Structure 1
Amino acid sequence: MVRKGAIAALVLTAGLAVGGCGGKKQADKPELKGTLSFGVLAPTEHQGELGVRAKDLMDGAQLAVDELNAKGGVLGKKVELDAVDDACDPQVAYEAAKTFLSDGANQTAGVVGGMCDAAADREIGVVDSTGIPFLVTSATQNGLVSADLQSTFTMNGSVYQQGLSSTYWMNYKEAQRLAVVQDDSAESKALAREAVALIEGTPKLVSLQTVEPGGQDMKTIAAAAVASKANFILWTGAARPGGELVKALRAAGFKGTFTATAASESPDFLTAAGAAGDGAYVLATSTAANTPMAERWGASFKARYQREPGFDAQQAYDSVRVLAHAIQKAKSTAGPKVVKQITTLDANFVNSLGVVRFAHDHTLLYDNRVILKVKNGAFTWERSLRTDSLG
C-alpha cells in the first residue's frame, strides 16, 4: 500500500520473502492468507540524527514483522508495515496521524511510533479517537497518556518515572543527605524537580545548584555540594558537564554516591570524567548495548543489519510484538478487543527487561530503567531498577 497526497509515506515491506527456519523445505513454510497492516509514525524522510533514529525504528519494527511472518504471521495473515513521515513536527504529525483513519477493508490494525514529544502529543488524539491501538515508542513527556484514553499506551518511561527511579535508587543506596545539580535546560530542570518532589522524608535535600553558561565554574559548584555534607549527589544534565562535575567532586574530596541520569550514558561523560568517573552510576534507559537480557536480540539485529541497534529499534521491535501478541490473543483486530488484551498481557510475554505490564494510566507499570556503573573507564551493567509507577 502506497500513501499519496500531502503526507509522504514509506512502505518498507515490498519484496520481502517470508523467512523460514534453517534447513526446512519451502513447503514447510507457513502459508499466509491476506495481510494485516501496522502503521508507523516516524520522521522517515528526515536527515541527520532524527533520520538515523527513524531508520533505526523502522529496522526494529521490520525485524519483528519478519519474525512474525516466518512463524505464521498474525491470525494467519502476513504482517506489513505502512509508515508515514511525521517529521517530528506537531503540525505535520497531526496530518500524518489522519492517514490511518479508514473505514475500508484495509484498516490499520495498530500503530507504533511517536519518537518526539510534541509530535506524539498531536498524534495521540487523532489515533486514539479511532480506537486503533497505538503504542508510543520513544516519547517521554509527562501526561502524554492517561486513563481517559481508550487505545494509546506508552512503551517508554516518562519523566515522572525517571524521577521515581532516582528516588528508588537513593533509597537503595541509603542516601541521607542529597545534593542535586542540574543544568539550565528545561529537561534537566524538569527531571530534578520530579526527583525532589518524590522524596518522602529521606534523603534530606541539602543543596540544589544549576550549572549555567557563564555562571559559577564546576570547582565552585563541587565545593558547595561537598560543603553541604551530602552523601548522595544527583546530576540531571548533559553528559560532558556531568563528567566534569564528578571529576571536580572527587578532587574536592567527595566520597559518597554520584549518580547521573540517562543523558550521561555517553562517551562524552567518560572522557570528561577520566579516572575520576570510576565508581559513578548512571540511571540509564535499557538498550541492547547495556542490558544483558537483550544481548541475544541485539546480536540478531546486528546479524540482519550489520550494525548495532539503537534504542528506537528496540522500542519498535517490542511494540510490534506487543500488538501482535494482543491481536493473536484477542483472535480479532477489533480495537476494543485488542486493547483489552494489551491491558492483560500474558505473564510469559516479555520484552528485553522482563514482563510487560501497563498501569491504569496507560504508562508502563514497570519502567525501563537500568543501573550502570563506571568501571575502568567504561559503562558496565549493575542491575535493573524496575519501579512500579503506581507506587
Structure 2
Amino acid sequence: MSLKRSATARKSHRSRLVATGAVALSIGLALTGCSGGLASGGDSGDSGKGNIKLGMLAPFSGSEAAFGDYMKFGAQLAINEVNADGGVDGRDLELVTEDDGCDPTAAVAAANKLVTAGVKGSVGGYCSGATLPTLPIFADAQVPMVIPAANSNELVGQGAFMINGTGTQQAESAVKYIKKVGAKSVVVIDDNTDYSVDLADSVEKQADGFKVVKRESINPKEKDFSANVNSVLSANPDFVVWTGYYQAGGLLINQLRGGGYDGPILVGDGSVDAQLAAIAGPDSIKNVVGTFTRTPDMLEGGDKWIADYKKVSNGADPGPYSIQSYEAVKTLAEAYKNAGGTDYDAVVKALKDLKDFPLLTGDLTFAADGSREGGGFVIVEPTGEDGAFVLKDDLKS
C-alpha cells in the first residue's frame, strides 16, 4: 500500500527571518497568561491525579488543514494504546489540539491557549515558521516539547526534541544519493522560501564528489519558468535538485522535460506528494525521486498500523507525519514513565537519556542539541498508485 499526500500545499519549514520571529515572540510574551484556553483555569502545577493533557499545535485550517488531521489521528492512536496499557502510572493521556494555521502569530495565541488549558507536554509542530515562536512560551510554562514534523535548523538546540530529521540530515541523504548514481554536474533550484533556500544551501554546502554548477531561484507564484529552464539547460547538468514545494515543482519539472532535460531530478520533502505527478504529467515524472522519512507503508508491520489508524480516523488514510506524531506521543509517554511523573526537569532529563528507544521508524536517540540522531531520510519515487511516492532506496548500501 502506498502512502498518499493530500493536494494541500506545505508552507515553509524554515524560518530565518529574525524580524518576523522577534515580532511573533513579542506578541507571545504579551499574550502569555491572558489567553483563553480550551479549559478554564489553567493549572501551572500537577496534582498527580486526573488525565495528563498533551497539547498539539497543527494546521487545522487553511491550505495545510489536511496535515492537522493526519497528525491528530496519529497522536490519538498512540494515546489510545498508552491508555489501554494502563496509561502513565495509572493516569490516562488526553489530547488537546489548537489550530496554528501555519502562521506565527496564530501559533503564539494557540500556544498560550494550550498553556492555559494545563497541558503537560507538547506533541505538535508542523510548519517551522509557526513552531519557532512557540518555543519560549512552552519553555516558560515548563512544558516539554517533542516536535513530530517541523525540522528547520533554527529549531535545533532550542530545548525541544525533534522526531523528524533536520534539513541538514535531509541534504546529507540527497548528497549520498547523488554520489551513488555518479552525477558530476548538479543544478540546485529553490523557490525563494526560507525552507527551500535553507535546504538548497545545505545541499550545496555538503556537495562532495560532484559540483553544483548553478544555483537557480524561481518565483513560485508564476506559471511560466521558461527563463529559469533556459538558464538550467545552459549549465548542461546531469542532475537537478529541486528544494521547493510540489505546486511549482510539478510545473517546473514539466517545463524542464519540455525543454529537453531528461536526466534525474531529486525533490525535497516539500514536493513528496502524489500531486507532483498529477501536475508534472506521467511522462515528465519519470526519473524523479525524492528525500523523505519512512512512512507506515514502508515498514514491516505497517499494514497493521495503517488499519489501526483508520479505526481512529473513521476510515481516512494516514498521511505525512501521522506516524511521526504517533511516535512523538510514544516518546513523551516513555519519558513520563522514566521520570516518574510530569515534572518538567525530570521529563527533559528522561528525554535526553533515551537511548535506542524502539519506534516503528527506527530506534530513537536524541543528540545533545535535541535533534534525532541519524535523521531517517530515505529515497522515494512516485511510482505508487496515482503517483504516490514509495520507497526506492534506503541508502543502507
TM-score (norm 1): 0.77
SS in 2 for 1:351: coil
The answer as to whether partners of 1:37 and 1:109 remain within 8 angstroms in 2 is yes
Maintained 8 Å contact 2:293/2:376: yes
* Amino acid in the other structure paired with 1:38: K
Residue matched to 1:366: 374
Are the aligned partners of 2:380 and 2:392 in contact in 1 as well (CA < 8 Å)? Answer: yes
Query: Aligned-pair distance for 1:185?
Result: 3.7
Q: Which deviates further from its counterpart, 317-326 or 89-98?
A: 89-98
SS at match of 1:207: strand
Q: Which has the higher contact order (CA 8 A, sep 6+)?
A: 2
The match for 2:95 among 81, 84, 95 is: 81
1:336-355 alignment, distance < 5 Å:
336-347=345-356, 349-355=357-363
**Residue 263 to residue 214, structure 1, CA distance change in 2 (3 Å):** closer
Give the equivalent residue in structure 2 for 1:324.
333
**Which of 234, 237, 243 is the equivalent residue of 1:230?**
237
Match of 1:40 among 52, 55, 71: 55
Deviations 1:270-301 (A, max 9, x none): 13232232232111343335666644322210
Residues 124-161 of structure 1 show CA distances to partners (whole Å, capped at 9, x for unaligned) of: 11222344321122223322231x63xx2122233333
Asked if residue 94 in structure 1 is aligned to residue 94 in structure 2, the reply is: no
Shift of 1:169: 2.3
Contact 2:37 2:115 in 1 (8 A): no
Of the three residues 124, 129, 132, the one matched with 2:135 is: 124
Q: Which has the larger share of strand?
A: 1
Alignment equivalent of 1:58, drawn from 72, 81, 93: 72
Which residues in structure 2 correspond to 1:213-224 (within 5 Å)? 218=225, 221-222=228-229, 224=231
How do 1:259-298 residues align onto structure 2 when only pairs under 5 Å count?
A: 259-271=266-278, 272-288=280-296, 294-298=302-306
Matching residue within 179, 188, 192 for 1:180: 188
Give the partner amino acid of 1:329: N
Aligned residue pair count: 353
Residue 36 of structure 1 and its aligned partner are, at CA, apart by: 4.0
Distance 1:86 1:230 in 2: 40
- Percent identity at matched positions? 26
**Partner deviation per Cα, 1:226-253 (whole Å, 9 max, x = no partner):** 4434222111223244334444545555
Q: Residue 392 of structure 2 aligns with which residue?
A: 382
Q: Which runs of 5+ in 1 are unaligned?
A: 12-32, 387-391
Q: Give the equivalent residue in structure 2 for 1:204.
A: 211
Q: RMSD in angstroms over aligned alpha carbons?
A: 3.4
Deviations 1:355-390 (A, max 9, x none): 11211211122224231123487333113359xxxx
CA deviations over 1:281-334 (Å, ceiling 9, x no partner): 111343335666644322210133211122243232111100111222333332
Q: Deviations over 1:337-363 (max 9, x none)?
A: 22222123242x333321112112111
SS in 1 for 2:382: strand
For the pair shown, the structure with the greater C-alpha radius of gyration is 1
Scaled by the length of structure 2, what TM-score is found? 0.76
Quote the Cα distance in structure 1 between the aligned partners of 2:64 and 2:173: 27
> What SS class does the counterpart of residue 41 from structure 1 fall into?
strand
Q: Which amino acid aligns with 2:316?
A: R
**Aligned-partner Cα distance in 2 for 1:278–1:291:** 25
2:240 partner SS: strand
